[in-house]
Protein backbone atom coordinates (compact mmCIF):
# COMPACT_ATOMS: atom_id res chain seq x y z
CA UNK A 1 0.00 0.00 0.00
CA UNK A 2 1.54 3.28 -1.12
CA UNK A 3 -0.50 5.51 1.20
CA UNK A 4 -3.42 5.34 3.57
CA UNK A 5 -6.60 7.03 2.32
CA UNK A 6 -6.68 9.28 5.39
CA UNK A 7 -3.20 10.55 4.56
CA UNK A 8 -4.16 11.06 0.91
CA UNK A 9 -7.23 13.10 1.86
CA UNK A 10 -5.19 15.38 4.10
CA UNK A 11 -2.50 15.84 1.46
CA UNK A 12 -5.17 16.90 -1.06
CA UNK A 13 -6.59 19.57 1.25
CA UNK A 14 -9.95 17.86 1.76
CA UNK A 15 -12.35 19.59 4.15
CA UNK A 16 -14.27 17.39 6.63
CA UNK A 17 -17.09 19.96 6.94
CA UNK A 18 -20.45 18.60 5.83
CA UNK A 19 -19.36 14.95 5.56
CA UNK A 20 -20.92 13.38 8.67
CA UNK A 21 -23.03 10.26 8.40
CA UNK A 22 -26.71 11.14 7.90
CA UNK A 23 -28.68 9.22 10.55
CA UNK A 24 -30.72 10.67 13.38
CA UNK A 25 -31.47 7.26 14.93
CA UNK A 26 -28.91 4.71 16.10
CA UNK A 27 -29.05 1.19 17.49
CA UNK A 28 -25.85 0.05 19.21
CA UNK A 29 -25.47 -3.68 19.85
CA UNK A 30 -22.62 -5.04 21.94
CA UNK A 31 -20.55 -7.67 20.14
CA UNK A 32 -16.92 -8.13 21.24
CA UNK A 33 -16.06 -10.68 18.55
CA UNK A 34 -13.79 -9.85 15.59
CA UNK A 35 -15.78 -7.88 12.99
CA UNK A 36 -15.84 -8.51 9.27
CA UNK A 37 -15.99 -5.98 6.46
CA UNK A 38 -19.80 -5.83 6.75
CA UNK A 39 -19.90 -6.25 10.49
CA UNK A 40 -23.65 -6.11 11.16
CA UNK A 41 -24.63 -8.31 8.20
CA UNK A 42 -21.92 -10.85 9.07
CA UNK A 43 -22.62 -10.98 12.82
CA UNK A 44 -22.99 -14.47 14.30
CA UNK A 45 -26.58 -14.10 15.51
CA UNK A 46 -29.66 -16.30 15.24
CA UNK A 47 -31.69 -16.22 12.03
CA UNK A 48 -34.45 -14.16 13.72
CA UNK A 49 -32.26 -11.12 14.40
CA UNK A 50 -31.57 -9.82 10.88
CA UNK A 51 -35.30 -9.75 9.91
CA UNK A 52 -36.00 -7.76 13.09
CA UNK A 53 -33.31 -5.24 12.17
CA UNK A 54 -34.82 -4.91 8.70
CA UNK A 55 -38.30 -4.33 10.15
CA UNK A 56 -37.00 -1.62 12.47
CA UNK A 57 -35.15 0.08 9.62
CA UNK A 58 -38.34 0.00 7.53
CA UNK A 59 -40.22 1.66 10.40
CA UNK A 60 -37.40 4.16 11.10
CA UNK A 61 -35.78 4.73 7.66
CA UNK A 62 -32.71 6.58 8.96
CA UNK A 63 -31.97 4.00 11.66
CA UNK A 64 -28.29 3.03 11.60
CA UNK A 65 -27.17 -0.17 13.35
CA UNK A 66 -23.67 -0.32 14.82
CA UNK A 67 -21.75 -2.99 16.67
CA UNK A 68 -19.98 -1.79 19.80
CA UNK A 69 -17.49 -3.30 22.22
CA UNK A 70 -15.15 -2.32 25.02
CA UNK A 71 -12.45 -4.43 23.39
CA UNK A 72 -12.00 -7.81 21.74
CA UNK A 73 -13.47 -10.50 23.98
CA UNK A 74 -14.39 -7.94 26.66
CA UNK A 75 -18.02 -7.66 27.72
CA UNK A 76 -19.34 -4.57 29.45
CA UNK A 77 -21.08 -6.88 31.95
CA UNK A 78 -20.10 -10.57 31.74
CA UNK A 79 -23.10 -12.69 30.80
CA UNK A 80 -25.12 -9.74 29.50
CA UNK A 81 -25.41 -7.98 26.15
CA UNK A 82 -25.63 -4.17 26.13
CA UNK A 83 -28.00 -2.65 23.58
CA UNK A 84 -28.59 1.10 23.29
CA UNK A 85 -31.10 3.01 21.15
CA UNK A 86 -30.29 6.68 20.54
CA UNK A 87 -32.15 9.54 18.91
CA UNK A 88 -29.50 12.13 18.20
CA UNK A 89 -29.93 15.88 18.13
CA UNK A 90 -31.52 18.64 20.17
CA UNK A 91 -34.21 16.41 21.75
CA UNK A 92 -32.19 13.27 22.39
CA UNK A 93 -33.46 9.89 23.48
CA UNK A 94 -31.16 7.28 25.02
CA UNK A 95 -32.64 3.90 25.98
CA UNK A 96 -30.51 1.13 27.40
CA UNK A 97 -31.27 -2.61 27.48
CA UNK A 98 -29.34 -5.45 29.10
CA UNK A 99 -30.08 -8.75 27.35
CA UNK A 100 -29.28 -12.36 28.16
CA UNK A 101 -28.96 -13.46 24.54
CA UNK A 102 -29.12 -12.08 20.99
CA UNK A 103 -32.37 -14.05 20.61
CA UNK A 104 -33.92 -11.41 22.90
CA UNK A 105 -33.30 -8.62 20.37
CA UNK A 106 -36.43 -9.13 18.20
CA UNK A 107 -38.71 -8.56 21.22
CA UNK A 108 -37.43 -4.99 21.72
CA UNK A 109 -39.66 -2.08 20.69
CA UNK A 110 -36.88 -0.10 19.04
CA UNK A 111 -39.13 2.08 16.82
CA UNK A 112 -41.38 2.92 19.76
CA UNK A 113 -38.46 4.04 21.89
CA UNK A 114 -36.83 6.10 19.15
CA UNK A 115 -40.01 7.92 18.16
CA UNK A 116 -40.94 8.89 21.73
CA UNK A 117 -42.15 12.48 21.81
CA UNK A 118 -40.33 13.32 25.04
CA UNK A 119 -36.55 13.34 25.06
CA UNK A 120 -34.19 12.66 27.95
CA UNK A 121 -33.00 15.43 30.23
CA UNK A 122 -29.32 16.17 29.62
CA UNK A 123 -28.01 12.61 29.07
CA UNK A 124 -24.30 12.11 29.58
CA UNK A 125 -22.24 12.05 26.36
CA UNK A 126 -20.61 8.84 25.22
CA UNK A 127 -18.17 8.30 22.40
CA UNK A 128 -17.85 5.77 19.60
CA UNK A 129 -14.52 5.35 17.81
CA UNK A 130 -14.45 3.43 14.53
CA UNK A 131 -11.85 0.63 14.66
CA UNK A 132 -13.20 -1.63 11.89
CA UNK A 133 -9.95 -2.53 10.18
CA UNK A 134 -11.55 -5.19 7.95
CA UNK A 135 -13.62 -2.38 6.36
CA UNK A 136 -10.66 -0.01 6.01
CA UNK A 137 -7.08 -0.17 7.25
CA UNK A 138 -7.12 3.49 8.36
CA UNK A 139 -9.81 2.78 10.94
CA UNK A 140 -7.61 0.19 12.62
CA UNK A 141 -4.27 1.99 12.30
CA UNK A 142 -5.47 5.41 13.41
CA UNK A 143 -8.68 4.54 15.25
CA UNK A 144 -7.43 2.05 17.82
CA UNK A 145 -5.01 4.47 19.57
CA UNK A 146 -7.80 7.08 19.75
CA UNK A 147 -10.24 4.47 21.11
CA UNK A 148 -7.71 3.55 23.78
CA UNK A 149 -7.22 7.21 24.70
CA UNK A 150 -10.99 7.60 25.10
CA UNK A 151 -11.14 4.48 27.29
CA UNK A 152 -8.30 5.80 29.43
CA UNK A 153 -10.11 9.10 30.04
CA UNK A 154 -13.71 7.93 30.40
CA UNK A 155 -13.95 4.13 30.49
CA UNK A 156 -17.72 4.04 31.11
CA UNK A 157 -18.48 6.26 28.09
CA UNK A 158 -15.96 4.98 25.54
CA UNK A 159 -16.83 2.31 22.98
CA UNK A 160 -15.17 0.87 19.92
CA UNK A 161 -17.57 0.63 16.98
CA UNK A 162 -17.95 -0.80 13.51
CA UNK A 163 -17.86 1.22 10.28
CA UNK A 164 -19.01 4.84 10.75
CA UNK A 165 -18.46 6.01 7.17
CA UNK A 166 -15.84 8.29 5.63
CA UNK A 167 -12.68 6.36 6.48
CA UNK A 168 -10.64 8.97 4.60
CA UNK A 169 -11.21 11.09 7.74
CA UNK A 170 -9.94 8.39 10.14
CA UNK A 171 -9.63 8.34 13.01
CA UNK A 172 -13.35 9.05 13.43
CA UNK A 173 -15.27 9.69 16.64
CA UNK A 174 -19.02 10.07 17.06
CA UNK A 175 -20.26 11.73 20.24
CA UNK A 176 -23.81 10.75 21.15
CA UNK A 177 -26.49 11.73 21.85
CA UNK A 178 -25.75 15.18 20.44
CA UNK A 179 -24.52 13.49 17.27
CA UNK A 180 -21.29 15.35 16.54
CA UNK A 181 -18.94 13.44 14.26
CA UNK A 182 -15.22 14.29 14.16
CA UNK A 183 -12.38 13.29 11.87
CA UNK A 184 -8.57 13.35 11.90
CA UNK A 185 -8.24 13.24 15.65
CA UNK A 186 -5.18 12.21 17.61
CA UNK A 187 -5.00 10.44 20.98
CA UNK A 188 -3.77 13.72 22.46
CA UNK A 189 -7.01 15.45 21.35
CA UNK A 190 -9.30 13.10 23.23
CA UNK A 191 -9.15 14.58 26.77
CA UNK A 192 -9.95 18.08 25.47
CA UNK A 193 -12.70 16.77 23.20
CA UNK A 194 -14.40 14.90 26.04
CA UNK A 195 -14.01 17.86 28.37
CA UNK A 196 -15.60 20.15 25.79
CA UNK A 197 -18.66 17.93 25.35
CA UNK A 198 -19.13 17.50 29.09
CA UNK A 199 -19.31 21.32 29.20
CA UNK A 200 -21.82 21.42 26.35
CA UNK A 201 -19.33 22.65 23.75
CA UNK A 202 -17.79 21.46 20.51
CA UNK A 203 -14.12 20.63 20.13
CA UNK A 204 -11.95 22.04 17.31
CA UNK A 205 -14.30 23.14 14.48
CA UNK A 206 -11.67 22.22 11.88
CA UNK A 207 -12.14 18.57 12.86
CA UNK A 208 -15.97 18.58 13.02
CA UNK A 209 -17.53 16.68 10.11
CA UNK A 210 -21.06 17.63 11.09
CA UNK A 211 -24.07 16.68 13.18
CA UNK A 212 -25.53 13.32 12.15
CA UNK A 213 -29.20 14.28 12.55
CA UNK A 214 -28.79 16.99 9.86
CA UNK A 215 -28.60 16.62 6.06
CA UNK A 216 -25.11 17.36 4.77
CA UNK A 217 -25.97 20.75 3.21
CA UNK A 218 -27.30 21.82 6.61
CA UNK A 219 -24.16 20.48 8.31
CA UNK A 220 -22.03 22.60 5.99
CA UNK A 221 -24.10 25.76 6.52
CA UNK A 222 -24.16 25.39 10.30
CA UNK A 223 -20.41 24.82 10.47
CA UNK A 224 -19.79 27.80 8.19
CA UNK A 225 -21.74 30.09 10.51
CA UNK A 226 -20.10 28.64 13.62
CA UNK A 227 -16.69 29.40 12.13
CA UNK A 228 -17.69 32.95 11.15
CA UNK A 229 -19.19 33.79 14.54
CA UNK A 230 -16.91 31.60 16.71
CA UNK A 231 -19.85 29.65 18.16
CA UNK A 232 -18.96 26.47 20.07
CA UNK A 233 -22.01 25.87 22.28
CA UNK A 234 -23.68 22.60 21.22
CA UNK A 235 -27.12 24.20 20.96
CA UNK A 236 -26.03 27.57 19.52
CA UNK A 237 -26.89 26.88 15.87
CA UNK A 238 -29.87 25.26 14.15
CA UNK A 239 -30.46 24.80 10.43
CA UNK A 240 -33.37 23.85 8.16
CA UNK A 241 -33.63 23.19 4.45
CA UNK A 242 -35.99 25.67 2.79
CA UNK A 243 -35.61 24.27 -0.71
CA UNK A 244 -33.04 22.34 -2.68
CA UNK A 245 -32.14 19.70 -5.22
CA UNK A 246 -29.08 17.60 -5.96
CA UNK A 247 -26.82 20.58 -6.52
CA UNK A 248 -28.11 23.69 -4.74
CA UNK A 249 -29.88 24.23 -1.42
CA UNK A 250 -31.30 27.20 0.45
CA UNK A 251 -30.78 26.80 4.19
CA UNK A 252 -32.14 28.90 7.06
CA UNK A 253 -29.73 28.96 9.98
CA UNK A 254 -30.67 30.37 13.37
CA UNK A 255 -28.02 31.56 15.84
CA UNK A 256 -27.74 34.26 18.53
CA UNK A 257 -31.33 35.35 17.99
CA UNK A 258 -31.03 35.88 14.23
CA UNK A 259 -32.08 33.75 11.27
CA UNK A 260 -29.74 33.88 8.29
CA UNK A 261 -30.12 32.46 4.79
CA UNK A 262 -27.35 30.37 3.27
CA UNK A 263 -27.08 29.16 -0.32
CA UNK A 264 -25.19 25.89 -0.42
CA UNK A 265 -23.72 24.33 -3.54
CA UNK A 266 -22.22 20.86 -3.88
CA UNK A 267 -19.12 21.02 -6.04
CA UNK A 268 -16.51 18.54 -7.23
CA UNK A 269 -12.95 19.73 -6.77
CA UNK A 270 -10.41 19.06 -9.54
CA UNK A 271 -8.59 16.46 -7.44
CA UNK A 272 -9.20 12.73 -7.32
CA UNK A 273 -7.75 9.98 -5.13
CA UNK A 274 -8.79 6.60 -3.64
CA UNK A 275 -11.29 7.19 -0.83
CA UNK A 276 -10.63 3.75 0.66
CA UNK A 277 -7.45 1.88 1.48
CA UNK A 278 -6.72 -0.98 -0.87
CA UNK A 279 -8.80 0.51 -3.67
CA UNK A 280 -7.38 1.61 -7.02
CA UNK A 281 -10.56 3.55 -7.87
CA UNK A 282 -10.05 7.29 -7.71
CA UNK A 283 -12.96 9.55 -6.87
CA UNK A 284 -13.24 13.34 -7.01
CA UNK A 285 -13.32 15.26 -3.76
CA UNK A 286 -16.67 16.93 -3.08
CA UNK A 287 -16.87 20.19 -1.18
CA UNK A 288 -19.69 22.46 -0.04
CA UNK A 289 -19.69 26.08 -1.10
CA UNK A 290 -21.66 28.23 1.37
CA UNK A 291 -22.71 31.77 0.46
CA UNK A 292 -24.74 34.00 2.76
CA UNK A 293 -27.39 36.58 2.02
CA UNK A 294 -26.09 40.05 2.82
CA UNK A 295 -28.56 40.59 5.69
CA UNK A 296 -26.88 39.15 8.82
CA UNK A 297 -24.98 36.71 6.62
CA UNK A 298 -22.27 35.68 9.06
CA UNK A 299 -21.76 39.22 10.36
Confidence at residue 123, expressed as pLDDT on a 0 to 100 scale: 77
Q: Quickly state the pLDDT bin for 120 (edges 50, 70, 90).
A: low
Among the residue ranges 38-42, 120-124, 168-172, 226-230, the one predicted with the least confidence is: 120-124
Assign a CATH topology to domain 1-213: Glutaredoxin (3.40.30)
Q: Is the pLDDT of residue 71 over 50?
A: yes
* Residue 244 predicted with pLDDT over 60: yes
Confirm whether pTM is higher than 0.75: yes
Could you state, in order of their start, the residue ranges of all structural domains in the chain? 1-213
Q: What is the pLDDT of residues 187-197, one digit of tens each?
A: 999 999 999 99
pLDDT over 90 at 247, yes or no: no
Confidence of residue 1 (pLDDT cuts 50, 70, 90): very low
Confidence at 3, pLDDT banded by 50, 70, 90: confident
Per-residue pLDDT tens over the stretch 146-175? 999 999 999 999 999 999 999 899 999 999
Rounded to 10 degrees, what is the CA torsion of 74, 87, 131, 224?
-150
Amino acid sequence: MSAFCSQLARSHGVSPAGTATEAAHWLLIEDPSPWGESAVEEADWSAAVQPALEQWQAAVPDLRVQLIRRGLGTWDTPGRIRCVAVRAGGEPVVHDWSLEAYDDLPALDVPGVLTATVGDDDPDPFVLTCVNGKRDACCAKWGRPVAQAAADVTPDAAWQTSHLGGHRFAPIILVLPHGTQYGWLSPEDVPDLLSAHHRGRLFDLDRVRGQVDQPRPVQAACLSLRARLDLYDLTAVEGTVVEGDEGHWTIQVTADGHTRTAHVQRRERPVAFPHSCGSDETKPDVEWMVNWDASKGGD
